[in-house]
A and B are shown apart, each in its own frame.
Chain A
Amino acid sequence: MSEIKIKIENLYKIFGSRPREYTDIVRDGVDKDELLSKYNHVLGLDNISLDIKEHSIQVVMGLSGSGKSTLIRHINRLIEPTEGTVTVDGEDITKLNKMDLLEFRRNKTGMVFQRFALFPHQNILDNVQFGLSIKNLDKSDSIERAMYWIEKVGLTGFENKFPNQLSGGMQQRVGLARALATDPDILLMDEAFSALDPLIRTDMQDQLLDLQKNLNKTIMFITHDLDEALKLGDRIAILNGGKLVQDGNAEEILLKPADQYVANFVKDVNRIKVLKIKTILDQGGERANSNPTVNVNDSIENCLPAILESQSGLNVIDEKNNFVGSVSKNKIIDILQKSKD
């Protein structure tokens, strides 16, 4: 198991003129609506604790106003917490002084924004270089690194253009390159693909997963789109009204929703498309030669043709072609039936 990179503990955020006075009553169970109507303070985050593993993609999902954008801004302290701690690599960043916080932001985190937030007066090269130039790195070195990332996101030839000369998808790729150029351990993506149209969004998701294979960053990804969450997230945390309602992998969220809110969220999802063979696998057993063989990472949907041909079930192998177990036909039919209602 990999190490925990970011540890969020008992984090509270209350917006208003005297937030500290209200943490106690929030602890006693006053909720977002009541705090607003009775005390005129806005509850941003309500006792959030979350561990994010190194090299994983942690998705944080929720409707607007659920506190997800507030949460991501606590990781690089663009928003100060009212109470609680955020620990990165064992260091409590809520205690950093001004200079150390700047250094932390310069070296440890990169951020991608929903509406891109590129610098309109700088060309693409200078935009991508921004983080490097803030660190006062050697000019030619930082140009080289920026060009490397411009190439990685497929924008070679555009380095002298200005942001408004590029399409939305291209602008967000600049945003991604800008965040990656300083080679941070942590990538914070605040609804990074929400403003893009569906085709380009899928494209960007694939590109992110592709980059992540080699980069192994710790990524916190905010979204309100469940399909996106299921596609990208190693783990998915769901926020509602500033509270963390569930944190789990795609299968846990889909098959064991923690409450009605999560259940409503996932009810329209095409389960067989999202669920992978490994989640319904019966480990061990014997290989049945009459049955077709599928990969453990395939989705159930992709295995449907194999199921139709099979006698009693499927043989399952892992990436290295080792036999790991089997799935019975009845089990799949069971899941298919469940996903209908």
Chain B
Amino acid sequence: MNFTEFFISFPEMSKESLRLFKKSLDGAYRNFSREYGDTIEAVFDPVLYFLVWFEKILQNSPWPIVIIVFLLLIYYGSRSIALTISSLIAFLLIGYFGMWDDTMSTVSIIGVCTLMSIGLGIPIGILMSGSDRARAAITPILDIMQTMPSFVYLIPVVMLLGIGKIPGLLAVIIYAIPPIIRLTDLGIREVNKEVLEAADAFGANRTQKLFRVQLPLALPTIFAGINQTIMMALAMVVIASMIGVKGLGQPVLKAITNQYFTMGLLNGLAIVALAIIFDRVSQSFGKRMQQYRAGANE
């Protein structure tokens, strides 16, 4: 190899060693998943049961009851008649166009993913807010989770757990959990230092400070995070359908491969309708929690 060639073509690893490198990594992971796949799958069994149970309830209950429960929740969350009526129309149209069961599957997986994201994300966010070291360690992981193309982390998940609901759930959570972690951390860090000092001056310990001052004051920010998490989970529906998650994603996938324009459009619109309903309800619920901030004009 002479001097000019060194600058023209990159001095890369030889083809042979690259092949060996890939092969050994793949082999190691394959062995790992053969060895532990069943165990890890068993860990997720309770989640799977819960998911299936939740989906069954939504699909097997009489549709008018499901709609009434949804509308009550929507009204409780938003206190808006207009939104409740628009949601009713959206649900009726979804049912009329034959997408009821798929929509219920999607709602159930989004619901479970959101619950799990909240349950995992808020404690992680609290941990991050309390320690700069934890924050420095977790932030790059969140960056990777948000920017890594989902297909890339679907490969090891599918190798490990096969195709089905749980890998889909994991894929959705990996993509959707970062906002709630980040915004919990941000919300707690943004709590006014003087107010915290006051809590200290009255002898509040860590737990009391967290639950009586920091979390309540961070709640509006945390809620913005929950809203983002729901939106991102919905955005993953189609990709999750590629690894066997039932719901509105599957007809969309079918429509893409077969060029069924109307089918794609209808299911796409159903996803949009769900997204808007989730978004408006969670936003106005979040806003109501910070009413005290706007109280000055009363």
Contact = CB atoms under 8 A, between A and B. Distances in A.
Interface stretch (B27-35, B149-157, B194-202): B194-202
B213 interface: yes
Contact of B201 (A78, A103, A135): A78
Most buried by A among B195, B198, B202: B202
B47 interface: no
- Interface size class on chain A is 20 to 34
A82 B213 CA distance: 29
A131 B198 CA distance: 10
Interface stretch (A107-115, A220-228, A267-275, A284-292): A107-115
B296 interface: yes
B292 A164 contact: yes
Interface in B181-206: 192, 194-195, 197-205
B92 to A, nearest CB: 40
B194 A105 contact: no
Sort A-B residue pairs by CB-CB distance and give the 9 closest, nearest first.
A106-B203, A105-B203, A117-B198, A111-B201, A117-B194, A162-B292, A131-B202, A102-B203, A121-B216
Interface in A116-149: 117-121, 130-131, 133-135
Interface in A44-82: 76, 78
B217 interface: yes
A117 B203 contact: no
A69 B292 CA distance: 30
A40 to B, nearest CB: 22
B293 interface: yes
A22 interface: no
Given A115-B194, A119-B195, A162 B295 contact: yes
A311 interface: no
Q: Which of B194, B197, B201 has its CB near the most chain A CB atoms (within 10 A)? A: B201
Contact of B213 (A76, A78, A105, A119): A119
Nearest to A162: B292
Contacts of A178: 202
Interface in A159-177: 161-165
A293 interface: no
B208 interface: yes
Looking at A110, A134, A163, A182, which has the most chain B CB atoms within 10 Å of its CB?
A134
24 contacts: A76-B201, A78-B197, A78-B200, A105-B200, A105-B202, A105-B203, A110-B202, A111-B201, A111-B202, A117-B194, A118-B195, A119-B199, A119-B212, A119-B213, A120-B292, A120-B293, A121-B292, A131-B202, A134-B203, A162-B295, A163-B292, A164-B295, A165-B295, A178-B202
Contacts of A265: none
B16 interface: no
Contacts of A130: 199, 202, 212
Contacts of B132: none
Contacts of A161: 295
B201 A109 contact: yes
A32 B198 CA distance: 28
Contacts of A135: 203
B143 interface: no
B5 interface: no
Interface string B210-222: 0011001100000
Contacts of B208: 134
Contacts of B212: 119, 130, 133
B12 interface: no
Nearest to A107: B203
A15 interface: no
Contacts of B295: 161-162, 164-165
B213 A103 contact: no
Nearest to B200: A78
Given A117-B194, A164-B296, A165-B296, 7 more contacts: A105-B200, A106-B202, A117-B192, A121-B216, A121-B217, A131-B202, A165-B295
A181 to B, nearest CB: 10
A134 B202 contact: yes
